[in-house]
Structure 1
Amino acid sequence: MTLTIGDTLKYIRSNKQYSQNKICINTLSRTALSKIENNKLSPTYTKLSYIVEKLDLDFKEFHYVQNNFSLQGKNLIINNFKLLSNNTEIDALKQLMALCDEYLATEPEDYIIKDILLVLQSLIMLHDGLPIENIVLNVSPVWERISRLDKWFLIEIYLINNILFTFDTSSAMPICIRLLEELEKYKALVNKPINISLQLNLAFMLLSEGNKHQAITYLNQAIILSRQLKRYDLLAVSQVRLGLASTPLNVSLINKGLSIISTIELADLEIQVKKEICIFTCPIKK
């Protein structure tokens, strides 16, 4: 059950044992705060921002508390979409698709959730080995919308990152570089796994073009970030690709990456990485 703004503010303030006087210093009168907490006055955005700050929260936590310490609807879908570790998490993809279908049944014109659903469908299609032409056709409405935007915000960055595989290398590389530039604006806000993912995507494209030297630059950055975040799945992929980019081929580093994936029991990722190795070299036997 979602609380009202007033009930949420009162709940937080009273449980923090903050007096109304502590909240009402300069910008807000005690009478106004009392009316807001008792749902007799709707606060402006400026007033609400002030109160939330005085309660030592940000809006993300405020809305989380307001929704009974849970994420719901659109917020839940977007949050889970951003948290996807890799496109081999088939069960997670299908669960998220079900949430999208449920949400769109009541909000059929929400283009962000429609975009997320199309991306998820395309990732499932990729996993199932469907022709790339079919996948491109399925996901094309997402890029048609986003490509018209002058500015990409976080949700657009996550969407594009998940459809980069549908572009040819010459088209994908400048898009990926722009994504990294856009992410730089969010460096104090966004988690770094998306940066690692983009660097890995760039490295793969550079490897495909035979540009091993530049690929190694991005892979070294990805390895540093992966270790900092203890993201051993991304570290393993980075090591495998660095081994592939090395001259001569660094089989020891490739096997080290494969060993990590096997140890943390990511079977789908292991299959995907072994397929990738086969693209650049001879097949590796299990």
Structure 2
Amino acid sequence: MSDINVPIGSTLKKIRENKGYTQKEISDHMMARSTYTKFENDDITPTLSKYLSILDHMDMSHEEFIYLLNDFELGQKETILYLFKQLEKNPTLELVYEIIEKGETLVQKRYDQLTLDILNVCRGYAVLLEEHDLAKAKNYAQEVWDRMENLDKWYLAELHIINSILYLFDSDTAALLTERALETLTQYHHLEEATNLKISFLLHLTNLLMMDQKYEKALFYIKQMETESAKMDYAVMLATALIRKEVCMKKIGDTSATGLIERAIRIFDSLNKHTLKELVIKDPENFLNLYSNYPVKEIQSELLTSH
């Protein structure tokens, strides 16, 4: 909220009037009408409980209210977090360097540990995407993990960070971390962000398991990825799960579900994602694998609208 440039009270008043509510309707039983009037006049600041009650009676979320306070713009840190989450959908060098630029600007103004973590994550991504040097990228990821492993509990912000450094670990450890993350994310089952994050964890983990040739274990998580992607109607992630499923089944000699890659190709055709189709035909085993020497730049434009 450091970027807010509009007094809270005047914004509350404007929203209330635009929605046609009276001060009495907004104050309800939580506070005296005179107290609410003082909030609108910026004479006093509401407590957290009263602030949340006001928003509830105005049919508005905290996120939307903060967005309005910033004149329909994200704040500096909120912008960094927003862009960082886009990496799970669109891992491009252009986006990575945009986050690094904005993050460095913020930490020059004030200390912010989460932004420092994001900067190290993005520097690791830059190495993966530009130099294809997994060992060098792990140096940045290790700096992030040194802090994360000492936290008692992970919330959504921390889970986004951990997901982005999963390549730091061997595949078995990555699976344990993913299981812990998935269990935590079940508590956020009403939030679409949690489902997106769950699918992204499964995407990263199955990459690592397949690279270690642990195909049966990979299949266990691929099936979860398939289910979650289908439930959320995420076509590109569903197609990716189908591709990996057929690759792993062939590796273990299971031919009971052939034609999955062809089905994925049809999905890409229907979405006009012809580059992704070509990449599947060229190398299905490494499709969307950030951790191998894979031509990430070839899929940038296709991934941009993957969700």
- Of 78-87 and 158-167, the range deviating more from structure 2: 78-87
Q: Deviation of residue 113 (structure 1)?
A: 0.5
Structure-2 separation of matches of 1:135 and 1:209: 18
Q: Is the 8 A contact 2:178 2:201 kept in 1?
A: yes
1:257 matched to 2:303? The reply is: no
Q: Is the 8 A contact 1:212 1:246 kept in 2?
A: yes
Residue 130 of structure 2 corresponds to 128
Q: List aligned pairs for 1:49-60, cutoff 5 A.
A: 49-60=52-63
Question: TM-score under structure 2 normalisation?
Answer: 0.81
Q: Is the 8 A contact 2:210 2:218 kept in 1?
A: yes
Q: List aligned pairs for 1:198-217, cutoff 5 A.
A: 198-217=201-220
2:12 to 9, 23, 48: 9
What are the superposed Cα offsets for residues 194-244 of structure 1, whole Å, 9 maximum, x if unpaired? 111222333334434544334323222212322333322212221211111
Residue 225 of structure 1 corresponds to 228
What SS does structure 2 have at the residue aligned with 1:86? coil
- Of 132-141 and 146-155, the range deviating more from structure 2: 132-141
Q: Deviation of residue 123 (structure 1)?
A: 1.0
Structure-1 separation of matches of 2:274 and 2:77: 31
Residue 276 of structure 1 corresponds to 286
Unmatched tracts of structure 1, length 5 or more: none
1:20 matched to 2:23? The reply is: yes
Unmatched tracts of structure 2, length 5 or more: 295-307
Residue 33 of structure 1 corresponds to 36
Provide closer, same or farther for how the CA distance between residues 258 and 200 of structure 1 changes in structure 2, counting only shifts above 3 A.
same
Number of aligned residue pairs: give it: 279
Structure-2 separation of matches of 1:205 and 1:132: 12
- Of 207-216 and 145-154, the range deviating more from structure 2: 207-216
What SS does structure 1 have at the residue aligned with 2:188? coil
2:143 to 119, 122, 141: 141
Provide closer, same or farther for how the CA distance between residues 215 and 61 of structure 1 changes in structure 2, counting only shifts above 3 A.
same
What SS does structure 1 have at the residue aligned with 2:109? coil
The structure whose RCO (Cα within 8 Å, separation 6+) is larger is: 2
Q: Deviation of residue 251 (structure 1)?
A: 7.1
Q: Deviation of residue 274 (structure 1)?
A: 5.0
Question: TM-score under structure 1 normalisation?
Answer: 0.86
Q: Is the 8 A contact 2:229 2:235 kept in 1?
A: yes
Instruction: Tell me which stretches of 4 or more aligned residues in structure 1 moved more than 6 Å.
Output: none
CA RMSD of the aligned region, Å?
A: 2.8
**Matched residue type, 1:118:** N
Structure-1 separation of matches of 2:27 and 2:150: 45
